[in-house]
Structure 1
Amino acid sequence: MIRGNEYTTSTAAFDTRSLDGLRSQAKDNSQESVRAAAKQFEALLLNNMLKSMRQASGQDGMFDTEQTKTFTAMLDQQLSQHMANKGMGLADALVRQLTHQSLQQAVQPENGTQTTQPVGNTLARGIDAYLANRRMETSGSDSTAQVVTSGPAHVREFQNRLGAHAEEASRETGIPAKFMLGQAALETGWGKKEIKTVDGTNSHNIFGVKATKDWKGKTVDAVTTEYINGVAQRRVEKFKAYDSYADAFKDYARLLTRNPRYESVIANAKDAVQFAQGLQRAGYATDPNYAAKLTKIIKQTLSA
């Protein structure tokens, strides 16, 4: 909603999923939508600035815990949104610059009528470029993960968010990154159904790994569907909780390489069908159609 120079929203663009929504919003190309997307993009840039300042000053004091760090991150998000609502001038400058660029790129049809490239589309491309840059910054200079720029938006966002972690796990396990991304997509519905903790924070458990008795880390209880004698049943199970997606991929890699149950999976990891069927035979999931679903995602949805 826009009231004068104030932009308010219930969600802020502080992750790639939200940015994907901003991209769609910008492509609406209405003046209000473009300005709203620009405002949220300003909030994102301000939040990243605050995050960099926190990292530079250090946050490892005697009284700092994961909870205080989470609270500080939430505080920074709110502060960034407040600053953007008040207006730092970045959104206005962005809209002016994009409008100028669109006019410069105007096409002159044969009838002499001037047409311009939509400002919203230009902003959407800018958001894509920002996502690519952020991906490369966070994945490390030695990463071989490629930024995905084609395919359905939700698939592209999912691959760009997790691709670098999948490449790292691939080097350790020999399993193609594409296969692991496919399994994470199947387990989480392309990130839309990730397991949340009681306070709503992300468990980062994208592979649906349950917490066994020897697990010493954090856990979270969640409702899941299990197939008992072929019959689907809803049950509450205890799952692992990680501090990051990187930790989730590392634990997944350890599970498959160190558990004898998955020896055949690792041995046949180069073929999508054998990989998926091997996971099902090893008892990774109780869904009788798990292998077929995973194979379909890997072969038909994910880009090479």
Structure 2
Amino acid sequence: MLGKLTISENAAFDTKSLEGLRRSSRDNSPESIKAAATQFEALFVNMMLKSMRQASGQDGMFDSEQNKMYTSMLDQQLSQKIASRGLGLADVMVRQMTNNAVAEVVQGDASAPQLGGLSGIDQYLHQQKLSIRAANLLENTKPIVSNSNLKHVQAFTEKFASEAQIASAETGIPAKFMLGQAALESGWGRKEIKTIDGSTSHNVFGIKAGANWKGKTVEAVTTEYINGVPQQRVEKFRAYDSYSDAFKDYAKLITNNPRYQKVMESADDPSRFAHALQKAGYATDPFYAQKLNTLIRHSFS
């Protein structure tokens, strides 16, 4: 007895449920990406089983439309079981989707969506070019190479190196960590927060202006992740007279605020530093730590 299929099991095979799977894949959380990738793997396995049965031939004395229907249902169930244990394709897809988002940030595409890989899931399910896309995923899952020689990286480093080095000497935060975070927050300087007259606020770290902030402020639209879902909101940010003031204020925030104690304890390793920042609540993007760590390692090594 096959039993009752769950919603997630139906999603990979019921045409009416594909839209639900697409909506789930847009949640932007690691769990949603993993679930969508697993469903794709199940769909891929089901196609292989279908092809195998067609190749072996099913015509015979006991062949009927009812028999084909139950065989199809059995293949669906088998596909779900196989995918739940994993063939490795779902893991490859998850890495590729998250690496796409990170690569966009590292390579300086400030206009790219933060989770560009998710649109890939939508494309897989909509166009159903499964085998072609799977082959591309396997081919394109390669480590990001160093980008320290790219022009936008060199220009950004030259512009802010002295400010980062001064703040580093005073606080112990590695200069390349600060440069990496400033690059991530400002889109390599292309998406700096602007004042009402269009001039820069010099706030390359995206630091918000809380109740205790007594300096200048500026309002800007920003993306916040609420329960993993991106939302556009207008927030109030700090404004500075210079980039030097911005770096000093960032360094002061990280070293003096007890909230970031674990961050300072992790200043010897970019991965631990980035994850400590995210855990402390510096940003709501679920992939913030991965983006920052990869950016530091491949652009400021």
User: TM-score scaled to structure 1, two decimals?
Assistant: 0.50
Moved over 2 A (4+): none
Equivalent residues in 2 for 1:177-188 (5 A)?
Answer: 177-188=175-186
Equivalent pair of 1:194/1:206 in contact (CA under 8 Å):
yes
Counterpart of 1:165?
A: 163
Equivalent pair of 1:173/1:266 in contact (CA under 8 Å):
no
Counterpart of 1:243?
A: 241
Separation of aligned partners in 1, 2:172 and 2:262: 13
Q: Which one of the candidate residues 294, 297, 301 is aligned to 1:296?
A: 294
- 1:214 Cα deviation from its structure 2 partner: 1.1
The answer as to 2:214 corresponding to 1:216 is yes
Percent identity over paired residues: 64
Separation of aligned partners in 1, 2:249 and 2:173: 14
Counterpart of 2:149?
A: 151
Task: Note the residue ranges of structure 1 that are not aligned, 5 or more in a row.
Answer: 1-149
Counterpart of 1:189?
A: 187
- 1:268 Cα deviation from its structure 2 partner: 1.1
Separation of aligned partners in 2, 1:256 and 1:190: 21
Counterpart of 1:230?
A: 228
Equivalent pair of 1:268/1:275 in contact (CA under 8 Å):
yes
Q: Secondary structure at the match of 1:193?
A: coil
Q: Deviations over 1:4-60 (max 9, x none)?
A: xxxxxxxxxxxxxxxxxxxxxxxxxxxxxxxxxxxxxxxxxxxxxxxxxxxxxxxxx
* Aligned residue identity for 1:163: A
Separation of aligned partners in 2, 1:166 and 1:222: 25
Equivalent pair of 1:162/1:181 in contact (CA under 8 Å):
yes
Counterpart of 2:198?
A: 200
* Aligned residue identity for 2:237: F
Q: Deviations over 1:249-290 (max 9, x none)?
A: 110011011100101100110100000000000000000000
Counterpart of 1:259?
A: 257
Q: Secondary structure at the match of 2:197?
A: coil
- 1:295 Cα deviation from its structure 2 partner: 0.6
Aligned length: 154
Separation of aligned partners in 2, 1:272 and 1:185: 15
Equivalent pair of 2:173/2:251 in contact (CA under 8 Å):
no
Separation of aligned partners in 2, 1:214 and 1:235: 21
- 1:175 Cα deviation from its structure 2 partner: 1.2
* Aligned residue identity for 2:246: A
Equivalent pair of 1:182/1:297 in contact (CA under 8 Å):
yes
Counterpart of 2:268?
A: 270
Separation of aligned partners in 1, 2:299 and 2:210: 32
Equivalent pair of 1:273/1:291 in contact (CA under 8 Å):
yes
Q: Secondary structure at the match of 2:190?
A: coil
Separation of aligned partners in 1, 2:186 and 2:287: 16
- 1:242 Cα deviation from its structure 2 partner: 0.2
- 1:301 Cα deviation from its structure 2 partner: 1.9
Q: Secondary structure at the match of 1:190?
A: coil
Separation of aligned partners in 1, 2:273 and 2:171: 12
In our comparison, the structure showing a higher alpha carbon Rg is 2
Separation of aligned partners in 1, 2:278 and 2:232: 19
Q: Secondary structure at the match of 1:151?
A: coil
Equivalent pair of 1:203/1:243 in contact (CA under 8 Å):
yes
- 1:218 Cα deviation from its structure 2 partner: 0.5
Q: Which one of the candidate residues 173, 176, 187 is aligned to 1:175?
A: 173
Task: Note the residue ranges of structure 2 that are not aligned, 5 or more in a row.
Answer: 1-147
- 1:162 Cα deviation from its structure 2 partner: 0.2
